[in-house]
Amino acid sequence: MTTLPIESQKTSQIRFTLNGEETDVCFAPYKTLLEVLREDLGHTGTKHGCELGECGACAVLLDGKPVLSCLVLAVDCSGRQVLTVEGLGEDGNLHPLQDAFADLGAAQCGYCTPAILVTAKALLDQNPHPSRDQIREAISGNLCRCTGYLQIFEAVEAAVLKIAAQKSTVT
Ligand code: FES
Ligand code: FES
């Protein structure tokens, strides 16, 4: 059997917006968005877990909505907007969710954290004042082995207050 050199296996190419920047990438056509982000673009913030759609560790935002990047073919992302944890902060500052997770111990081993952060961002973009139950429901697809979830819920609630305080100082 002949094995093609890696470069000749990269037969698909897309242009999409990754964390606000127009990005071109070539990759093998069978690859998932998770694989292209990590292996072809070096964005390893998005974590590789079960690859079966069960753990939630690979979540990113696709056109503002959480998706499991292990279940999305990269070729289907042409022309679309992808946000990963690397794009959460702005102007060199952490996103209030990242600050709150650090302050309240909501990231322990950290493996689930990038996906939970982007999933929580999508929730707060849509619903700036979610109830505890709405937070719980939004991240119900993200497994965390370390925290018992309480610190995560509290950190999302703390981020709500931080974001509201930031907005009141701007207006
Ligand atoms: S890696 Fe587990 S859901 Fe994608
Ligand atoms: S902090 Fe370890 S899995 Fe969530």
115 lines ligand 2 (CB under 6 A): no
pLDDT tens string 85-118: 999 999 899 999 999 999 999 999 999 999 999 9
110 lines ligand 2 (CB under 6 A): yes
In sequence order, the β-bridge partners of residue 83 are: 61
pLDDT tens string 56-70: 999 999 999 999 999
User: Which residue's CA is minimally distant from atom 2 of ligand 2?
Assistant: 109
Q: How far is CA 135 from CA 25, 93, 126, 149, in A?
A: 34, 24, 12, 11
Nearest CA among 72, 65, 46, 77 for reference residue 138? 65
DSSP labels, 86-102: GGSSBTTB--HHHHHHH
Expressed in angstroms and rounded, the spacing between residue 150 Cα and the centre of ligand 2 is 12
Place of tokens 């998706």: 67
User: Which residue's CA is minimally distant from atom 3 of ligand 1?
Assistant: 53
Q: How far apart are the first and last CA of the chain?
A: 66
**Count of residues in the chain:** 171
Looking from the CA of 78 toward its CB, the CA atoms found within 13 Å total 8
* Domains, in order of start, for the chain: 8-87 (3.10.20.30), 96-170 (1.10.150.120)
pLDDT tens string 23-73: 999 999 999 999 999 999 999 999 999 999 999 999 999 999 999 999 999
* pLDDT score at 168: 87
